Structure 1
Amino acid sequence: MQKFVGIPYVPHGREYTGADCWGILFLYYRDVLGMPVPAYSAEMDTREFKHGSIAPLVAEEREKHWHLVDAPQLGDCVLMRAGRHDSHVGVFLGQGRMLHSEGPHPSVIDRIGDMRWRNRISGFYRLNECSHS
């Protein structure tokens, strides 16, 4: 798990040399779970980096490829609000922890129950089986 901690925050990044929150999820799913998820780097480049402009893309991805779960398991997506919009993601690691990157800070493992996060969590989502076959 240590290779995912400390990755520099780079907007729209999808590499170990730099990644945003979706980039961390992208790398984890590709390299740990062996499940491809869309990179969305090209589409993200066309949007202004504002939570409101990212929110429709998050909603579209959630509706197409993910389903809400009550009890998260290792690797599930943690969807969080930034202001009024669902626009931040992390990877659930179990034991109340998540891996994520929120600019301008490098990727970290945080406790979901920490004051900073507990009121921002919109839900836990699992990739649909048909999405990665």
Structure 2
Amino acid sequence: MIDLNRFVGLPWQDRGRTPHGCDCWGLLRLVYADALGICLPDHSNGYADTSDGAISDLIGTGLSDWLPVVAGTERPLDAILIRQAPWHVGVIVRRGLMLHMPENQTSCIEAYDTGRWSRRVEGIYRHREAAR
């Protein structure tokens, strides 16, 4: 199993793409590059800031690189898309837990199937290259 704990505690930075500061998409990019060897597009110029809704376009609106995953069949490293003022993305650590980057905080692991996130999960997606 891949240890995602080393990604806990990274500082938040809007449109950041490095371990020295990243947003939720930047964190997903870091994890995918390190754990899967998948280089996700940067998209740092593709949105004004993390509140403009473009995060959902990067994963959830039919892009061919992402496949929807049936709830209950998610596995580590799947991406989880969350409705949050308006969109947010995290990485599945194991069923029920996600690694994510809360705005203006540090990256952390939290439950997505209980508490504040459970009603906001839009979907879980697997990158086409990780599905092979």
Task: Indicate the TM-score class for this superposition, using the shorter chain for normalisation.
Answer: 0.7 to 0.9
Any idea what the Cα deviations from partners look like across 1:51-97, whole Å, max 9, x if unmatched? Answer: 3x324x522543222111102111000000014x4x10000011411
Q: Which aligned segments of 4 or more residues in structure 1 are displaced greater than 6 angstroms?
A: none
Distance in 1, Cα, partners of 2:67 & 2:89: 14
CA contact (8 A) 2:15 2:44 kept: yes
SS in 2 for 1:43: coil
Distance in 1, Cα, partners of 2:46 & 2:67: 23
Offset at 1:39?
A: 1.3
CA contact (8 A) 2:14 2:50 kept: no
Unaligned runs of 5+ in 2: none
% same residue: 34
Residue equivalent to 1:42 = 45
Residue equivalent to 1:11 = 14
Unaligned runs of 5+ in 1: none
SS in 2 for 1:3: helix
Instruction: Name whichever structure is richer in helix by fraction.
Output: 1
Offset at 1:125?
A: 0.3
2:79 aligns with one of 74, 77, 80 = 77
Offset at 1:43?
A: 2.1
Q: CA RMSD in A?
A: 1.8
Offset at 1:33?
A: 1.1
SS in 2 for 1:98: strand
Matched AA of 2:120: R
SS in 2 for 1:41: coil
Any idea what the Cα deviations from partners look like across 1:99-121, whole Å, max 9, x if unmatched? Answer: 00011110000011231110010
How many residues are paired up?
Answer: 123
Distance in 2, Cα, partners of 1:73 & 1:61: 17
